[in-house]
Amino acid sequence: MNHIYGKTIILGVTGGIAAYKAAALTSKLTQKGAKVHVIMTASAKEFITELTLQSLSKQRVYSDTFQERDPAEISHIDLADSADLVLIAPATANILAKMAVGIGDDMLSTTMLAVTAPVMVAPAMNVHMYQHPAVRTNMQTLASRGVHFIEPGEGLLACGYVGKGRMEEPETIVAVVNEFFAGRDMAAQGPLAGKRVMVTAGGTVERIDPVRYISNDSSGKMGFALARAARAMGAEVTLIAARTDVAPPQDPQIDLVRVESAADMYAAVSSRWSDCDLLIGAAAVADYRPRISAETKIKKSGDTLTLELVKTTDILDTLGKIKEKQFVIGFAAETGNAELYAKDKLVRKNLDLIVANDVGQEGAGFGTETNIVSIYSSEGLVLDLPLSSKDEVARRILQLAAERMAGAAV
Ligand code: PMT
């Protein structure tokens, strides 16, 4: 199905040999009914002409920040505001670096500073440039801000090398864009459409000194599955993730906030609390942290070392007690008596639901792809879920939350 029809896409074209593919890309997106506004860098114009892309998009092509043809508009702001999606293809190492550090010295990079729409980039460069630590760091920075990467393919590069760096083919990029809009269109009709959902994930890191810390085995899988499921049901999702073993969802629609300690997580969650409709605490948050985090590495000295630990702020406990419109779901990771302890946490933290996982059971809890959970409310057991994928567990939890939140709103 065509989900591109009627969408406004800014296509950024930067200066690499793959710029010639921007012609096919512009043509295919336009044929699918998108309004494509092309912004070219000066280097891109060395490879392909403005006239080509203007003819294919049937729209004016932008390349000069200061060439304002219409006195009623400020092009880079108006363009940025109009976009449903920004796609940069090909994206050179240069534009990635500018976006990572926030440089705005031409029409494209300046527009990128004003863009609030989701951003996709299709990098294209020489294989050694692609692997350069500076480029990798810039890509990681952008990915952590939610920029979606359409990974380059492997093959013969224009420079003669064989390797990764060749821009993905226009057909594939159009398919990725279509899938992105399909997800968004579906989400707009989902049961959590218009709701703001915050999910915590991963294990917090409590520093002993600059090279040592206390943490736990949370991989982030359960929290990430919840973020994906909430998004698929139409919610606006903020994912607050501490240390994780797996990569976070590569969905430009999920706002990813990386934190380290329980204190950081509390600050991140509480600063977004007033806007939140549903909070799900899947993170394994440290209950205690070292009283002192040494500024330099602690040297080996005596036969024993005593670390004094102090309590962290309990995020769900603090917020659960002051909740107004918010629906709050906690997790309880237990190694026995799961029901008893989970119900105690439900009441103590004033939660709406608690998801108990007996992490001693095979296939449940930390690090696994699956989970086995029992969900309780103040009335008792709501749902027992046998061994299921974390995606399925997440879906069922979100379904329950959506039903109960809708019930409360009636
Ligand atoms: O990440 P995975 O590898 O996929 O593993 C998933 C999981 C086992 C970590 C997850 O399913 C889970 O059970 N998370 C909660 C683990 C936990 O720390 O539970 P708890 O019983 O200590 O805490 C109860 C609740 O209070 C949790 O929702 C927790 O996020 C929250 N809490 C705890 C301490 C604290 N200082 N602040 C909190 O908000």
Top CATH class of 8-187 equals: alpha beta
How is residue 183 written in tokens? 């997800």
Interval 36-65 mean pLDDT: 95
Q: Ligand 1 pocket check: which of 245, 273, 331 to mutate, most ligand atoms within 8 Å of Cβ?
A: 331
Is 105:30 a contact under the CB 8 Å cutoff?
A: no
Predicted model pTM: 0.70
Ligand 1 contact, 359 CB (< 6 A): yes
Q: Quote the mean pLDDT of the chain.
A: 93
**DSSP-H helix ranges across 16-84:** 21-31, 50-57, 75-82
pLDDT tens for each residue of 239-290? 999 999 999 987 777 899 999 999 999 999 999 999 999 999 999 999 999 9
Has residue 64 got a pLDDT over 90?
A: no
pLDDT exceeds cutoff 70 at 67: yes
Mean pLDDT to the nearest integer, 340-357: 97
Residue type, 292: I
With the most atoms of ligand 1 within 8 angstroms of its CB, the residue from 316, 347, 353, 390 to mutate is 316
257: number of Cβ within 10 Å? 17
Q: Compute, in angstroms, the gap from residue 359 CA to the centroid of ligand 1.
A: 11
Confidence of residue 410 (pLDDT cuts 50, 70, 90): very low
CB of 357 sitting under 6 A from ligand 1: yes
d(CA 202, CA 216): 9
* Fold agreement (8-187, 196-409): yes
pLDDT on residue 71: 67
Say yes or no: CB of residue 332 within 6 Å of ligand 1. Answer: yes
Domains of the chain: which residue ranges? 8-187, 196-409
The angle, 0 to 180 degrees and rounded to 10, between the axes of the packed helices 50-57 and 21-31 is: 20
pLDDT at residue 166, rounded to an integer? 83
CA-based end-to-end distance of the chain: 35
CATH superfamily of 196-409: CoaB-like (3.40.50.10300)
- Cβ of residue 285 lying under 6 Å from some atom of ligand 1: yes
Question: Which residue intervals of 127-210 are DSSP H helices?
Answer: 127-131, 133-144, 170-188
Give the Cα separation of 367 and 228 in Å (integer).
Answer: 17
Q: How far is the CA of 325 from the centre of ligand 1 (A)?
A: 22
Q: Is the pLDDT of residue 161 over 70?
A: no
- What band does 75 get if pLDDT is binned at 50, 70 and 90? confident
Ligand 1 touching residue 312 (CB < 6 A): yes
Rounded CA-CA distance 63/40 in Å is 5
The pLDDT of residue 72 is: 63
Distance CA 229, CA 249 (A): 11
Ligand 1 proximity of 331 Cβ (cutoff 6 Å): yes
Residue 124's SS3 state is: coil
Tell me which residue of 318, 396, 398, 376 sits closest to 350, measured CA to CA. Answer: 318
- What phi and psi values does residue 147 have, to the nearest 5 degrees? -70, 135
Return the amino acid letter for 171.
E
Provide the pLDDT confidence category of residue 95 given band limits of 50, 70 and 90: very high
Instruction: Check residue 313 and report its DSSP letter.
Output: P
pLDDT, position 31: 96
Q: How would residue 157 be classed by pLDDT, with cut points 50, 70 and 90? A: low
pLDDT classification of 183: cutoffs 50, 70, 90: confident
Note whether 254 and 146 are within 8 A (CB): yes
DSSP for 134-145, written as a single string: HHHHHHHHHHHT
**Among residues of the chain, what percentage have pLDDT more than 90?**
82
Task: Mark whether 276 is an active-site residue.
Answer: no
Out of 285, 347, 355, 393, mutate this one to test ligand 1's pocket (max ligand atoms within 8 Å of CB): namely 285
The residues near 10 (Cβ < 8 Å, ≥ 6 apart) are: 37, 38, 39, 79, 80, 83, 85, 86, 87, 111, 115, 117
Would you place residue 142 in the very low, low, confident or very high pLDDT band (cuts 50, 70, 90)?
Answer: very high
Catalytic residue among 42, 159, 307, 347: 159
Residue 159: pLDDT band by 50, 70, 90 thresholds? low
Please state, in angstroms and rounded to a whole number, the distance separating the CA atoms of residues 346 and 352.
Answer: 7
Chain centroid to Cα 372, Å, comes to 26
Range from 42-51, 134-143, 238-247, 251-260 carrying the lowest mean pLDDT? 251-260
Residue having the nearest C-alpha atom to atom 21 of ligand 1: 332
The model's confidence at residue 226, banded by pLDDT at 50, 70 and 90, is: very high
Specify the 3-state DSSP secondary structure of 32. Answer: coil
Torsion of CA 69, 70, 76, 80, to 10 degrees: -130
The CB of 353 under 6 Å from ligand 1? The reply is no
Which two tokens mark 122?
């299709």
DSSP designation for 62: B
Q: CA of 167: how far to CAs of 31, 92, 346, in Å? A: 21, 10, 51
Q: Do residues 400 and 383 lie in contact, with contact meaning Cβ atoms separated by under 8 Å?
A: yes
Distance CA(390)–CA(125), nearest Å, equals: 37
